[in-house]
Structure 1
């Protein structure tokens, strides 16, 4: 029904490799903090809207600070994961992705030791009692308003 032979065409492969090389040469990354605030880790792909400046986020409590750092590092890993879907042979980005992934997992483990499970697939839910219901829920925290 559909002909996908063009994907195996050497001219197509060379064209794709050349575009990948030029993209990799021109790509530099934001820090995880700036990438999280901008919604994009790649400086050459970020396009600012008019005079908009993203707010600089900060946490007030230790819990909020840890969650913010988990969000930043997880976002960096996720954005590099999307990049690696297109360019799986980019070793430097793969190394950086794995560094961010490991850091995110370590931060999540530290958070869960102090504050309980972060998501429903957390290993801290294996042992009883069931910790998912331990509060307070975000809407129950008076200081969160």
Structure 2
């Protein structure tokens, strides 16, 4: 019985320490136009990771140059984020904001760097005519 109480106390302490870590996460929620206007240099900085939280098929159609695809809805998303979020700054986005908000929640459990959350997502990025990688099949469909 004493071992069980010790285990419960240990789990409680670990949960508290995880909560303390999550308070260290610095998140800046910013729309795509303001991000590009003020922080476009981050898109080519080797100390910054750009993380796309959408499905692989969505990513293949179009994404921000240099982005790494991590489908946040898959069961291995947390492990993938731990592998990729190794730089002092990460930029997260999805189509609108649901998946990127989920990425921030996961990041808050271990990451202590700076996070830029593109609040209007790839939809806003595209609507603002900001540079995107587009697959050739998407480009040819647009030309028709």
TM-score by length of structure 1 reads 0.28
Question: Which structure dedicates a bigger proportion of its chain to strand?
Answer: 2
Find the structure with the greater CA-based Rg. Answer: 1
Question: Which structure dedicates a bigger proportion of its chain to helix?
Answer: 1
